[in-house]
């Protein structure tokens, strides 16, 4: 390695995923000099192996399912999907795994991009090991923001590496549909990828460890409705099933379950959680534990380090792009305010510089058929948090706007109301077309809109949004 002198910036960001990009955008907008370090592709997991390719795979699946429910249109969409065309469109969404467009964007905001592995080398210092072997030292006057994201967690099964299992990366980037696919897991990545690959031509077996069913973090009816639809689509769902061993025999994957069943497939996807990408970023040089999630305060600052921020997946608050970008806007503003000596921040009065929505107003859409969307607390979470709450449910099929979506519309909505404050603590919608509806609930939850005022937010007729009236009526009448 060759050594160059250290280069000083106001801010150094490690990781140019969606979150790192947004931190840099905000610090640059505040006039702070900013370096951003990236070891793979500028744009991160979201652009190349997560949100964008997965949604590009799922959009035709959902559009076809919607069309199949409509008399007059259903006959025109009986044929299987054109898998090659769907994969081709996915490739365009990932820009064929090239990041030139996003590099241009970084240049456009006036940040300096360094390619290579970034590692902390003591307080306010980042070393970058470039692919060509050169090494640079970046000194941060005001802040270092760790935005290194998360990677797929694999279970500790002997010989797993030889099986070459799929993680979310292979599942979103595959060039063809395997004939048979085992998906291990029951969370968002598992159900989305089971939906996509079953429709794209694979025979999917979904192995779910616990007995809580699918999407266990949402209201129970979300997982039930999604499971019914997956089963109807041909997915073999086995709950209460753990994988005890997995081998590859003459090209075939063989998973043996705790019940002793052998399940064979061409590929196996482990959608079994995430780990922080912090093993090799020099945490030990500043007294932190390598491999750990980085715990932060509401201004995204790592406890005990006034110059160190951890933003996005890596802080484990909410592993979602939109929530990470929200944190990035706040962290960027907080860094800039502290750099200019804002007395409010120094005294701990953070106001707009606090990521409070992380605690009780996180929205999420699961892009399955039916879609599942939620914000805030589920009934169980609200009760566990000690709120005195009541849940009201509505069958979405009774809403005129939903019935227009097509024959046999199935869906459900739940509103969790805080009985002390008469505000909405959480909302869940499950049904075709509900993804675009969730922001109305996010405004109600994050804005703590009193139930009495919600009556004056009049939904248009005939849209699915009229579910709000049905929910308010159900709350009033029960
Ligand atoms: C299959 C799948 C689908 C998803 N779908 C959605 C969705 O629809 N909507 C949604 O909101 N969220 C979705 N997510 C979650 C979303 O992808 C993440 O929340 C988001 O990517 C987090 O952004 P980030 O910038 O924190 O991390 P990342 O996107 O992981 O970016 C981190 C960046 O840091 C770089 N890096 C890591 N270590 C170093 C280092 N030492 N030096 C330099 N660079 C480094 C990485 O190469 C990477 O580019 C999905 C996730 C998966 C797995």
Q: pLDDT tens-digit profile of 66-93?
A: 999 999 999 999 999 999 999 999 999 9
Homologous superfamily in CATH for domain 153-272: FAD/NAD(P)-binding domain (3.50.50.60)
Stretch(es) of the chain classified as CATH 3.50.50.60: 2-43+99-151+276-358, 153-272
Tell me how far apart the alpha carbons of residues 376 and 360 are, in angstroms, rounded to a whole number.
5
Question: Which residue has the least CA distance to atom 27 on ligand 1?
Answer: 149
pLDDT in tens, 303-336: 999 999 999 999 999 999 999 999 999 999 999 9
Question: Which residue has the least CA distance to atom 8 on ligand 1?
Answer: 51
Tell me how far apart the alpha carbons of residues 158 and 287 are, in angstroms, rounded to a whole number.
33
| Average pLDDT, integer, range 99-112 | 98
Burial class (CB in 10 A: 0-12, 13-18, 19+), 478: exposed
pLDDT in the model for residue 345: 83
Residue 201, φ and ψ in degrees, nearest 5? 120, -5
> Which residues touch 104 (CB under 8 Å, ≥6 apart)?
none
Q: Is 50 exceeded by the pLDDT of residue 420?
A: yes
| Average pLDDT, integer, range 177-192 | 98
Cα(45) to centroid(ligand 1), Å:
4
Q: Is 50 exceeded by the pLDDT of residue 234?
A: yes
pTM of the model: 0.97
> Which residues touch 34 (CB under 8 Å, ≥6 apart)?
9, 10, 11, 12, 13, 24, 27, 28, 110, 111, 112
Could you identify the atom of ligand 1 that is nearest to the CA of residue 318? 19
Cα(329) to centroid(ligand 1), Å:
16
| Average pLDDT, integer, range 264-282 | 98
Could you identify the atom of ligand 1 that is nearest to the CA of residue 172? 1
Stretch(es) of the chain classified as CATH 3.30.390.30: 370-477
Q: Is 90 exceeded by the pLDDT of residue 287?
A: yes
Q: Which fold has domain 370-477?
A: Enolase-like; domain 1 (3.30.390)
Tell me how far apart the alpha carbons of residues 114 and 15 are, in angstroms, rounded to a whole number.
10
Cα(3) to centroid(ligand 1), Å:
30
pLDDT in the model for residue 4: 62
Cα(281) to centroid(ligand 1), Å:
16
pLDDT in the model for residue 1: 45
pLDDT in the model for residue 43: 98
| Average pLDDT, integer, range 336-352 | 86
Ligand 1 — pocket residues by CB below 6 A? Answer: 14-20, 37-40, 44-46, 50-51, 54-55, 117-118, 147-150, 168, 172, 189, 277, 281, 312-313, 319-322, 324
Burial class (CB in 10 A: 0-12, 13-18, 19+), 260: exposed
Residues in the chain: 478
Rg over CA atoms, the chain: 24
Q: Does the bond joining 462 to the residue before it have cis omega, within 30 degrees of 0?
A: yes
| Average pLDDT, integer, range 178-205 | 98
Could you identify the atom of ligand 1 that is nearest to the CA of residue 45? 29
Q: Is 60 exceeded by the pLDDT of residue 2?
A: no
Cα(421) to centroid(ligand 1), Å:
37
Cα(474) to centroid(ligand 1), Å:
40
DSSP per-residue letters across 245-288: EEEEETTEEEEEETT--EEEESEEEE---EEES-TTS-GGGGT-
CATH class of 2-43+99-151+276-358: alpha beta
pLDDT in the model for residue 445: 98
The closest of 222, 175, 227, 198 to 58, measured between CA atoms, is 198
Cα(192) to centroid(ligand 1), Å:
17
Cβ neighbour number for residue 453 with a 10 Å cutoff: 12
Cα(151) to centroid(ligand 1), Å:
8
pLDDT in the model for residue 478: 84
Over the chain, what is the mean pLDDT?
Answer: 96
> Which residues touch 380 (CB under 8 Å, ≥6 apart)?
none
Query: Could you tell me if 113 and 106 are in contact, meaning their C-beta atoms sit under 8 angstroms apart?
Result: yes
Tell me how far apart the alpha carbons of residues 58 and 46 are, in angstroms, rounded to a whole number.
15
Question: Which residue has the least CA distance to atom 2 on ligand 1?
Answer: 50
Question: Which residue has the least CA distance to atom 30 on ligand 1?
Answer: 149
Cα(15) to centroid(ligand 1), Å:
9
Could you identify the atom of ligand 1 that is nearest to the CA of residue 281? 41
Give the mutation target among 21, 50, 314 for probing the ligand 1 site: most ligand atoms within 8 A of CB. Answer: 50
Query: Could you tell me if 207 and 246 are in contact, meaning their C-beta atoms sit under 8 angstroms apart?
Result: no
Q: Which two tokens stand for residue 335?
A: 């860094």
pLDDT in the model for residue 349: 81
Give the mutation target among 12, 53, 149, 439 for probing the ligand 1 site: most ligand atoms within 8 A of CB. Answer: 149
> Which residues touch 161 (CB under 8 Å, ≥6 apart)?
none
Give the mutation target among 37, 46, 53 for probing the ligand 1 site: most ligand atoms within 8 A of CB. Answer: 46
């Amino acid at each position: 390695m060759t050594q160059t002198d250290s280069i000083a910036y106001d801010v150094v960001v490690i990781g140019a995923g969606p979150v790192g990009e947004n931190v840099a955008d905000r610090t640059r907008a505040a006039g702070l000099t900013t370096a951003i370090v990236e070891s793979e592709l500028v744009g991160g997991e979201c652009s190349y192996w997560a949100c964008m390719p997965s949604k590009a795979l799922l959009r035709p699946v959902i559009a076809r399912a919607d069309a199949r429910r409509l008399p007059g249109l259903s006959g025109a969409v009986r044929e299987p999907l054109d898998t090659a065309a769907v994969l081709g469109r996915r490739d365009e969404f990932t820009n064929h795994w090239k990041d030139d467009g996003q590099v241009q964007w970084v240049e456009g905001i006036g940040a300096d991009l360094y390619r290579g592995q970034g590692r902390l080398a003591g307080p306010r210092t980042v070393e970058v090991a470039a692919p060509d072997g050169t090494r640079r030292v970046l000194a941060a006057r005001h802040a270092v923001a760790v935005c290194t994201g998360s990677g797929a967690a694999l279970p500790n099964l002997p010989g797993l590496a030889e099986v070459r299992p799929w993680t979310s990366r292979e599942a979103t980037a595959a060039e063809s549909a395997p004939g048979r696919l085992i998906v291990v897991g029951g969370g968002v990545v598992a159900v989305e990828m089971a939906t996509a690959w079953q429709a794209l031509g694979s025979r999917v077996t979904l192995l779910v460890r616990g007995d809580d069913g699918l999407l266990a973090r949402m209201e129970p009816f979300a997982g039930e409705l999604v499971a019914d639809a997956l089963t109807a689509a041909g997915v073999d769902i086995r709950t209460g099933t753990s994988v005890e061993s997995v081998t590859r025999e003459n090209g075939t994957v063989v998973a043996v379950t705790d019940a002793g069943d052998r399940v064979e497939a061409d590929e196996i996807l482990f959608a079994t959680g995430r780990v922080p990408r912090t093993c090799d970023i020099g945490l030990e040089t500043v007294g932190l534990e390598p491999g750990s999630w980085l715990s932060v305060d509401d201004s995204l600052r790592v406890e005990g380090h006034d110059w160190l921020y951890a933003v996005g997946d890596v802080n484990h608050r909410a592993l979602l792009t939109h929530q990470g970008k929200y944190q990035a806007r706040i962290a960027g503003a907080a860094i800039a305010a502290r750099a200019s000596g804002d007395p409010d921040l120094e005294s701990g009065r953070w106001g707009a510089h606090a990521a409070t929505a992380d605690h009780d107003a996180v929205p999420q859409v699961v892009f399955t058929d039916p879609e599942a969307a939620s914000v805030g607390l589920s009934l169980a979470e609200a009760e566990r948090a000690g709120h005195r709450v009541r849940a009201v449910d509505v069958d979405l099929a009774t809403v005129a706007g939903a019935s227009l979506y097509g024959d046999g519309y199935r869906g459900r909505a739940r509103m969790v109301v805080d009985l002390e404050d008469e505000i909405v603590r959480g909302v869940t919608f499950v049904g075709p077309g509900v993804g675009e509806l969730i922001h109305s609930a996010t405004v109600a939850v994050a804005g703590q809109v009193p139930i009495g005022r919600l009556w004056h937010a009049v939904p248009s007729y005939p849209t699915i949004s009229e579910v709000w009236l049905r929910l308010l009526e159900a709350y009033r009448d029960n």
